[in-house]
Amino acid sequence: MQSLEGKVALVTGASSGIGAAVAVALANAGAHVAAGARRTDRLAELAPRVAAGAAGEILPVKLDVADEQSVRDAVATTVEHFGRLDVVVSNAGVMLVGPVQGADTADWTRMVNTNLLGSMYVAHAALPYLLESKGTLVQTSSTAGRSASAGSGAYAATKFGVNAFAEALRQEVTTQGVRVVLIEPGMVDTELASHVTDPTMLAMAEQLYASVRTLRPEDIANAVLYAVTQPGHVAVNELLVRPTDQVA
C-alpha cells in the first residue's frame, strides 16, 4: 500500500455527500486536501471531521466546475498552497432526472456543464501537475454510466460521456505513470436526489432510495482510498460499487 502522507489532493464536490467523505478520508490518511465546491460554508464544516492527530488537513476552496476559469483558479490555489498535486477526485455532479418528453432543458444544460464539461475542465487543468507527480485522477461516474434507463437519459448521457473521456485519457497518459480511475457508485445516501426538479421523478427517486439499504458516502470513500493507495504499478481503472440490495 502506498502512503498518502505528504501527498496533495484536490476533491471537487466536497461540500456534501461522497466528496465530503472522500476529502475527510484522504486527510485522515495523511493527505493535504483542497476541498472544492460552491458552498464554502459547508466546506468549512469538513476540518472538524478530520481525526485529531491525523497528519492530513483540509483547505476549503471556492469552486464552480462549470466555470473553466474557476477550475483553473482552484487548481492553481491548490498547487500554490501545498506545492504539488498528486490526487484529483473529480466528483462534483448533479442528477436532475426526468423523462425526455416535457423536460426542462435547463436541467440538461446544467448537468452537461457540471458533470461532463466540468469534469473535463478539471482533468485538463490538473493534468500537467499529475504528469509531474505521476499522480492519480479519480472520476466519479455512476451505474448510469454503464446502463441508461427511462427517465435518466440526460444524466446517463453525461455519465457515459465521463466514462468515454476517462478511458481515452487513460490510454493517453497511463504509460507516463498517471492512473485514471473510474468510480461507479450505485445508490448512495446523499443530497443528490433532493435536487430533482420534476415532482413525479423526485417522489420516485425518494421511494427508490428508501427501498434499499443504500451505500453511505464513506463506503465510496473506502473505494477511492483503495484505488489511490495501490503501489505505482497497479492501476485500478474501474470500480463498480452497488448496495447489495440494488438489482439494476
**How many residues of this chain bind ligand NDP (CB under 6 A)?**
30
Residue 185: CB minimum distance to ligand NDP, A? 4
Segment lying near ligand NDP (by CB under 6 A), choices 17-25, 78-86, 169-177, 236-244: 17-25
Q: Does 238 bind ligand NDP (CB under 6 A)?
A: no
CA atoms within 13 A on the CB side of 177: 12
CA distances from 7 to 29, 128, 199, 228 (A): 10, 16, 43, 11
User: What is the distance between the alpha carbons of residues 90 and 118, in angstroms, rounded to a whole number?
Assistant: 9
Cell numbers of 106, please?
A: 435547463
Q: Does 27 bind ligand NDP (CB under 6 A)?
A: no
Residue 164: CB minimum distance to ligand NDP, A? 16
DSSP 100-160: STT--HHHHHHHIIIIIIHHHHHHHHHHHHHHHHT-EEEEE--GGGT---TT-HHHHHHHH
User: Judged by CB under 6 A, which of 10, 50, 108, 114 binds ligand NDP?
Assistant: 114
Judge whether 129 counts as a catalytic residue. no
Q: Does 190 bind ligand NDP (CB under 6 A)?
A: yes
Instruction: Find the catalytic residue in 129, 155, 209, 226.
Output: 155
Q: Does 201 bind ligand NDP (CB under 6 A)?
A: no
Cell numbers 497518459 label which residue? 173
Q: Closer to ligand NDP at the Cβ: 83 or 180? A: 180
Residues acting as catalytic residues: 155
Contact residues toward ligand NDP (CB under 6 A) are 12-19, 37-39, 42, 63-66, 91-95, 114, 140, 142, 185, 187-188, 190-192
